[in-house]
Amino acid sequence: MITSIELGDFLSHSETKLDFENGVTVFVGHNGAGKSSIIDAITFALFGKHSRKTNKGLIKRGATQGFSKVEFTINGKQYQAVRKIDSKGGLFAKFSKKINGKIIEIAAGERKQFGESMTHEIEKTIGLDFEKLKIASIVQQGELDSIIKAKPKEFKELINAVIGIDRLDVASIAMKEVCKNFRGNIKEKVGYDDTHIEILRRDLEKYQIELEESKPQKELLRTKHEKLQQEITELRIKLEEDTPKIDKIKQLEIRKQELQAYAIEAIREIQHEITEKERKIQDCEECFQYAGLKNDLESKVEKVYQAVEGTQNKIQELSNQVASLREKQVLAAKLQLRDNKCPVCDSTVEKLNPLFQEEHLRKELDLVQEKIVATKKEQEMYHKKRLDFAEKLQNARDAEATLKAHSINNEEELKKIKEEIKVKKMNVQKIPASANSNLLEIAEIDSHSKIIFENILKLEEEIKGFDQIQFTNLKNSINEKQGNLSQIDQQLGAITEKILTNEEQIEIIQKALTELKTVKEYMTQLDSIQSNIFSRDGSVATSLRSWALNTISTKSSEYLTLLNTKIQRIQLSEKARDITITCYSRKEVLDLESLSGGEKVSVALALRLGMAKLLGASNLNLMILDEPTTHLDAERKKSLVGVLSQLSNISNSEMPMQFIIITHDAEIFDDSTVDKIYKFESAEKGTIVSTL
């Protein structure tokens, strides 16, 4: 049991120390006076847990640190748990044991990585962890009689929590993860897991059926393939025999085209030769009459040239005479007689020399100029003759050059060429130029055409009797059969691949099924464990609940005998998925709805004590009721006080319990038999606790 609680700057408590004994201790005071803080002080000192949001929220406002110390006894041994918290979040924790007034440290701090955990040591000592303590020993506001008001399914969940069946859920999840991982490993190894067995069996049956159906299909296709291959081979032999004839047909056509082309080219060459010779005749025919005049024309051109030069010289002489006469005219104009006196020597002269007479000189000058004009006319005449003779001479020379260019020496040669042209024209008329002409006639052109024609006759003889339409039909037949053969090849490949795939799949599936059969047996066992052991409604959980319900029923009934009620026994039972509460008097079964308020509180309290006993393992034996009167009317509050007054009977029994009652209804204990009552009051410096 808890022997003392000491608080320092913890929540609203500056400095508070409470002492406890066996039996009932009541905390009274108004809301907010710090009563419920004692619950946080107990759970913080023992487990480091509380109902506040953060650890720093436990420190009294204005203080830098706070602490909670709880001393308790178990089986006659004294223990002390202390935890401190500062404003920086630093924690100090120590769990000790008192022996002969000396404090011996058991554990300090929560360095779990070093194997040190004060909370773990306290859990081993008390036999409860924080969650179980809340269920077994702390009844929050309004929850006292909720246990008998709860729906059967909700009550079952409460029982599950009390006996730890909720841990089966954790184990079940872990088991599912194990199964999942196991299946995953099997699937990674085998390719399948036990959930695929039926699918694999259906696949196996499908592959076996397909395999049986495919084998005769393969044989049928193979027979068709062999037959068609034989037909194609025979046709190819025939085709190979006739194929050279196709080449010869092509050669024949080429030779015919060659002969016709040769004929056309021969005609073209002869016509070209005729044209060239006709042009030669045309060029040379008139050249002989010009070429014979060459020597005479050369002589005439020379004479005319000399005559032109003679007239040119005469014109020059006459031009010089004109210049001389003009100079004399100038001088004569200066030598005029004046008074028959000589202008030079002033001698008497009857008349001047005619050479110095202007009139004489004028006449002489006119005469010379007339001669110049006549000479120029003569020169022009000679010049025209020279041009005419030069032109004729050039024609003679051109005619001579043309004859020389065409290698014509005389008119007899030209006549001979004319005869050749006449013969060639007659030969051209005999050559057929049409593509459809008689090749035999074309072959008469020359020796080369005859050789080509003989090749044509040879090729025609070699392809005699060959039917090209039949040959084409033969090729088409081979191609068609080859296409059919390719399709059969594809079908054979597909059916062979299908058979191999089916055989491989059958082998794989059979091997997998052999392994999965063992896996299935193992998974069946795991599923059995899952459903029977780890399921909330499995045989293990049902057995545990049955044992827990019987234990709680027995303990609750024992506690009820210590309370003054007409109820002698409580029986908890599980039906389907619900848990029901049945109350018995000495003579009859009592309906919960027919019980008085005090009797209901007694039943609820007895059940809580029964569950606490089941969980507590007779270590702490503590029960805290926080505001049990909340939401109770006056009659039920009075009934509750009557029940609480009887708790001393339980405390003094063979299985003593320690009760802490927290309530703001102080007046209800005025006439009670409860001795230990602490009054909590709010003050400026914090909560003040006094004994009533």
Predicted confidence (pLDDT) per residue in 521-549, tens digit: 888 888 888 777 777 777 777 888 888 88
**% of the chain with per-residue pLDDT over 70:** 86
Q: Is 70 exceeded by the pLDDT of residue 347?
A: no
- Calculate mean pLDDT across residues 218-226: 93
Share of the chain above pLDDT 90, in %: 22
Q: Give the span between the Cα atoms of 612 and 618, in whole angstroms.
A: 9
Question: ∠ at Cα 528 (522, 529), nearest 5°?
Answer: 90
Residue 359's Cβ-count burial label (10 Å; 0-12, 13-18, 19+) is exposed
Confidence of residue 14 (pLDDT cuts 50, 70, 90): very high
Contact present, 384 and 307 (Cβ < 8 Å) = no
**Least confident window among 58-62, 92-96, 399-403, 667-671:** 667-671
Q: Is residue 499 pLDDT above 60, yes or no?
A: yes
Q: Which two tokens stand for residue 121?
A: 């040591």
pLDDT at 75 over 70: yes
State the pairing for strand pair 578-584/569-575.
Answer: antiparallel
Average confidence (pLDDT) over 345-349: 60
The predicted pLDDT at position 174 comes to 82
- pLDDT, tens only, 241-276: 888 888 888 888 888 888 888 878 878 888 888 888
Provide the phi-psi class of 138: left if phi over 0, else alpha when psi is between -120 and 50, else beta. Answer: beta
Write down the pLDDT at residue 565: 74
Mean pLDDT of the chain: 82
- What pLDDT, on the 0 to 100 scale, is given for residue 618? 44
HSE-up of residue 140 (Cα within 13 Å, Cβ side)? 5
Residue with tokens 């044509």, as numbered in its chain: 456
Average pLDDT, integer, range 356-370: 83
CA neighbours closer than 13 Å in the CB half-sphere of residue 417? 22
pLDDT at res. 112: 57
pLDDT of residue 391: 84
Higher-pLDDT residue of 461, 436: 461
Task: Specify the pLDDT at position 435.
Answer: 45
Token couple for 503? 């055989």
Start-to-end C-alpha separation, the chain: 22
Q: Which residues pair with 29 in a beta bridge?
A: 680
For residue range 401-452, what is the model confidence (pLDDT) as tens digits? 888 888 888 888 888 888 888 887 877 776 665 545 567 777 777 788 888 8
Report pLDDT digits (tens) over 162-205.
666 767 777 778 888 888 888 889 888 888 888 889 999 999 99
Q: Given a cut of 60, is residue 617 above it in pLDDT?
A: no
Q: Are 80 and 71 in contact (CB under 8 A)?
A: yes
Per-residue pLDDT of 23-55, as tens digits, reads 788 999 988 899 989 999 999 999 999 888 888
pLDDT band at 590 (very low <50, low <70, confident <90, very high): confident
Q: 148: exposed, middle or buried (C-beta count within 10 Å: 0-12, 13-18, 19+)?
A: middle
Q: Which of 438-447, 566-575, 629-638 has the lowest mean pLDDT?
A: 629-638
Between 199-208, 294-303, 506-515, the lowest mean confidence (pLDDT) is in 294-303
Residues 100-153 have pLDDT tens digits of 889 999 988 876 555 568 898 888 888 778 877 777 778 877 666 666 766 766
Tokens 């050559």 sit on residue: 431
Cβ neighbours of 273 (radius 10 Å) = 14
Answer whether 682's CB lies under 8 Å from 33's CB.
yes
Q: Please, which pLDDT band fits residue 497 given cuts at 50, 70 and 90?
A: very high
User: Is pLDDT at 13 greater than 90 in this prediction?
Assistant: yes
Out of 328-342, 423-437, 532-546, 643-657, which region has the weakest mean confidence (pLDDT)?
643-657
Comparing C-alpha atoms, which of 428, 426, 421 is closest to residue 281?
Answer: 421
Q: What is the pLDDT of residue 83?
A: 94
- State yes or no: pLDDT of 670 exceeds 80: no
Q: Which domains, and CATH codes, for the chain?
A: 1-127+622-692 (3.40.50.300), 213-285+434-468 (no CATH)
Amino acid at 290: Y
Residues with Cβ within 8 Å of residue 80, at least 6 apart in sequence = 69, 70, 71, 95, 96, 97, 98, 103
Range in 56-60, 217-221, 250-254, 591-595 the model is least confident about:
591-595
Q: Which pLDDT belongs to residue 349?
A: 54
Pairing of β 138-139 and β 2-10 = unpaired
Question: Of 213 and 129, which is predicted with more confidence?
Answer: 213
Question: Could you tell me the sign of the dihedral formed by the alpha carbons of 294, 297, 303, 308, in that order?
Answer: negative
